[in-house]
Amino acid sequence: MSDTIPLKKPTNFIRNQINTDLDSGLHSSVITRFPPEPNGYLHIGHAKSICINFGTAKDYDGWCNLRFDDTNPAKEDIEYVNSIKKDIKWLGFDWNGEVKYSSSYFNIFYKCAEELISKGLAYVCFLSADETREYRGTLKQPGKNSPDRDSGIEHNQTLFKKMKEGEFIEGECVLRAKIDMSSSFMCMRDPTLYRIRFETHHQTNDDWCIYPMYDFAHCLGDAIEGVTHSLCTLEFQDNRRIYDWLLEHLDEFKKTDRPHQYEFSRLNLEYTTTSKRKLKLLVDSNHVSGWNDPRMPTISGLRRRGYTPASIRDFSERVGVSKVNSLTDVSILEGSIRDDLNAIAPRSMAVINPIKLVIENYPSGKLESLKAAIHPQNEGMGEREIFFGRELYIDKEDFVEVAPNNKYKRLAINKEVRLRNAYVIKATHFETDEEGQVKTIYCSYDSDTLGKNPSDGRKVKGVIHFVESSKAISAEFRIYDRLFLDPNPAKFDDLSSTLNPNSLKTKYGFAEPNLSQAKPEMVYQFEREGYFCRDSESEGLVLNKTVGLRDTWNQ
């Protein structure tokens, strides 16, 4: 491992390549870039790419540019630009200098296209979309040359200028590179470089009516900015040939230290889709409430659900960098957030399925103020005030009439349990409603057991949580589960066929009064229930379940 890599950082093929380039003197610094298209919100797959691009540059004391690939105004919006910048900052990264846009280089791109035309390496093609597909051939059969392929240089220069001046309608013609229609790589069969779009651009307004394709703009943007290592996902592996061909045929960028593209595996996560197109369909079809729905794998959805920047960065480290696509176990992501929240989340109690409990031998009207640790493993976080009185709420699942066996550790008639941070109680009888469901549980308490075991030496094994009724605050609990039933929803053309009908359950219960001070996106660990954060989009106390205390999906 090169001594340029900080200790404790795992090596991978990207770092090995960087080490080679630095040691050989090909590059003296590391410059990367993150080039999102502003046509949707970033998701967990983008988060991995952000961590790789920004993180790698940072580790080598280099820098990473944020450059928006804004070459298709029909699908882009300033809303997405703003959300992307917010997500990157939230993840803990910052870009070098000002935000960059491919649209800032449109004049340079245009001149590069003119250079290719002047060298006989690009031509204006009038084939329709269907004809272009027909002429392209198949994986087993070579393509056919366009009738316009051998038109003269001056003729193509004139036509391209007319394209720029808006003299052709959308779809009437495109500018194509003249490479090889018999290439075994489909992407090299005279790929399109420019197409016509009469759309108002969010940065350039109506200055242009022709827009470069991604493959053309991407490599030129990298070269203009002096990017040394262009890191992207494996679906662009074949397109690296276009990347190299273009830079090698343009005089200004044909240099030994020009950018080179390196591909790593895309993040494919179980029970999740990271297709931006399919995520947009979920939003547009109202299967979710929006891009930041807590069930969505978007960064904004994960943030709203209670995921932390540190947990997502840790997840990216755990997944690692490879050249092999695979389906990542979602428990790895959930493990990252559990580990982070276990260390930092304040503790509290909430009753999600409440049932009333009355302590008959506790004085009426008395209310005790008790102390409980905010975090039992971190005394520095201090203590919180909880309350105890005659009437409490406990969870319905914590009571049965008859204990099923000697190992049962919750409340049953004539069985004792401890209330967390309070007293030992024993259930004596209960009332039911008209449907025979338990409505109220009646108990007695041992007043000499606050913070200590019964004096006569009897053993009390179980501990249950509670909330005192007069101080309890009402809360809405949103219990989220995986959005899809199949671990690989990408194989479904229609995602609605594998949507989990129980991906969201809403319950109404009670929480400790200190939760009234919870800030949006603040996460708490609730006794035995899991981690919950205050929703950032709702009025009142709405708590989103981030993750359970342990993985129970396969249990």
Just list the catalytic residues: 37, 266, 276
User: Helix (H, G, I), strand (E, B), or coil: what is residue 475?
Assistant: strand
What angle in degrees, to the nearest 10, is found between the helix axes of 106-118 and 153-164?
Answer: 160
The DSSP annotation for 28-52 comes to SS-EEEE---SSS--BHHHHHHHHH
Residue 42 CA to residue 88 CA, distance in Å, equals: 9
Strand 31-34 versus strand 63-68 pairing type: parallel
CA quadruple 18, 21, 25, 30: dihedral sign: negative
Q: Cα(224)–Cα(320) distance, rounded to whole angstroms? A: 30
Closest CA to 177 of 107, 242, 252, 248: 242
Nearest to 261 by CA among 304, 301, 232, 302: 232
The backbone torsions φ and ψ at residue 93, rounded to the nearest 5 degrees and listed phi first, read: -115, 160
Distance of alpha carbon 200 from alpha carbon 209, whole angstroms = 9
Q: Are 114 and 251 in contact (CB under 8 A)?
A: no
Pairing of strands 438-446, 424-432: antiparallel
Residues 485, 489, 492, 495: what is their CA dihedral angle, to the nearest 10 degrees?
70
Angle at 189 between CA 185 and CA 190, to 5 degrees: 145
Nearest to 173 by CA among 218, 138, 216, 126: 126
| 388 vs 391: CA distance, rounded Å | 8
- What's the first-to-final CA gap in the chain, in angstroms? 42
Tokens of 430: 């209960």
Measured between alpha carbons, how far is residue 384 from residues 140, 510, 513, 515, 545 in Å? 71, 17, 10, 11, 22
Cα separation, 120 vs 152, in Å, equals 8
Closest to 60 (Cα-Cα) out of 72, 52, 68? 52
Residue in the block written with tokens 């392929």: 149
Residue owning tokens 């394209």? 163
